[in-house]
Amino acid sequence: MSPSPTRRSLLRTAFTAGVAAPLLSACVTAGSDDDPKSQSGAKSADNPFGVKDDVPLEVVAFKGGYGDEYTKKAATAYEQRFPAAKVDHKGIQKVGEALQPRFVANTPPDVVDNTGAGRLDLATLVGAGQVSDLAELLDAPAHDDPAVKVRDTLLPGVVDDGTFDGKCVTLNFTYTVWGLWYSKSLFAQRGWTYPRTWDEMLTLCESIKAAGIAPWTYQGKYPEYINDPLLSMAAKVGGPDLVKAVDNLQPNAWKADGLKAAAEAFAELAGKGYLMSGSEALSHTEAQAAWCQQKAAFIPCGSWLESEQKDVTPAGFDMVMGAVPARTGADKLPVAAVLAASSESFLVPSKAKNRAGGLEYLRILFGKKSASDFAKTANTLPSVGGALDGLTLSSGLGSVRDAVTAAGRNTFTYRFRTWYAPLAKAVDDATGELVNRRATPTEWADRIQKAADAIAKDSSVKKFTR
């Protein structure tokens, strides 16, 4: 039986904008020996999903800044738990390009780490019914402590981050915090103090520039990196109501005072020449390498930066992350507030051959031991509570932990990037134009609002609210 045109059209666009891949024309069949229900057995306290110990498991993991060793370790633990099962583990980078045809053909892997610039568009997969509800996993006993449910081991917000229409369909393994990174040793050597307000930032940038160092650089080929501090500043000015208005596609949300103030701040940063010349043409690795060489003092990035730069960071560099400075004295969120969310997204396709095995694999992966081992090697905060207990932390990871502690309840996150990939691309493109002085703050807001309005009016796009 062929899938309906609506479903196929949904799957054709199940990509982050800009990614393309060939589509399979194979028909989708209903029911077979590979039906997921035929691949599970009796459930027990020790085997909550009824995994059959002789059924193969296929895992496709994103091999990015964190590598894929931690997903391999979970695969090894799975094979030790089920010795007759063979785990086929693949570490790749272009997840969407590789897997879109398989989702179209209803032959997906059993577990997918749907991460990276070329990831599948999760909202589209949800709309097409291609991902499993993970409630059964969340209510299962934790791998390391059967007395506790998996959901109760996760940091605040992790379940919400993966929830669509009231169902949690993906679990994110890392807890990411976004901010501005700098070398603690360089700042100490120069006598510079990290700024708490935007006025202090501009004053410091002038001193940095006078010292022959570019104040800022950014990953110019991927302007979403510099979007993060801009949107963080806007959230601090306007508070949670601004964030909700943006995510809920409310009319004129992108023209709010908070977003206008943030756009003006970054236009000023560019206008004063505080961005390193040529940044627009740099990839993330090139910009980050230049920063590690102290060609620039600040770089915006998420908390994966230390891990991603571990092979090129000079000894004694002591990278640390700070919260985005306050824009005004009347910001609705405190200066310590940070953009934070779980990331590194794992899902179990609804059409997985070994769905039970996929759930068990994630139960192992999201165990405290797995998370702690990951933190040791990746210098990154996992989304499992207590994973850092007893560990000696690097400068970067220590600063991330301190930022989360200082923020307390004042963390925030936008959901539009996950919900509406075309809007995310529109925001990225507009911000690239803004910081390269080809668009004014007003033009920036108008351009994004037009894209948001188009999505709001498009009845074919499934809408989400918060």
Residue located via tokens 């909202």: 123
- Whether residue 62 is predicted with pLDDT greater than 80 in this model: the reply is yes
SS3 219: coil
Nearest alpha-carbon partner for 256 in 242, 268, 266: 242
Q: Are strands 338-347 and 111-113 parallel, antiparallel or unpaired?
A: antiparallel
What predicted TM-score, i.e. pTM, was given to this entire model? Answer: 0.75
Return phi, psi of residue 17, to 5°. Answer: -55, 140
How is residue 410 written in tokens?
């004042």
Q: Whole-angstrom distance between the N-terminal and C-terminal Cα of the chain?
A: 36
Do the two domains 17-173+344-392 and 176-340+413-457 of this chain adopt the same fold? Answer: yes
Residues 175-214 have pLDDT tens digits of 999 999 999 999 999 999 999 999 999 999 999 999 999 9
Helix axes 69-81, 368-378, angle to 10 degrees: 150
The span from the CA of 254 to the CA of 442, in Å, is 10
pLDDT in tens, 97-150: 999 999 999 999 999 999 988 899 888 899 899 999 999 999 999 999 999 999
- Domain edges within the chain: 17-173+344-392, 176-340+413-457
Backbone angles phi, psi at 322, to 5 degrees: -120, 155
Place of tokens 């996929």: 358
Phi, psi of 450 (to 5 degrees): -60, -40
Average pLDDT, the chain: 90
Residue 59, strand partner residues: 89, 111
| Domain 17-173+344-392, CATH homologous superfamily name and number | Periplasmic binding protein-like II (3.40.190.10)
3-state DSSP assignment of residue 325: coil
Q: Which residues contact 15 (CB under 8 A, 6 or more apart)?
A: 21, 96, 100, 118, 119, 120, 121, 124, 421
Residue 354 has pLDDT above 70, yes or no: yes
- The pLDDT confidence band at residue 264, using thresholds 50, 70 and 90, is very high
Q: What is the pLDDT of residue 38?
A: 53
Domain 176-340+413-457, classified CATH 3.40.190.10, yes or no: yes
> Pairing relation of β-strands 171-183 and 296-302?
antiparallel
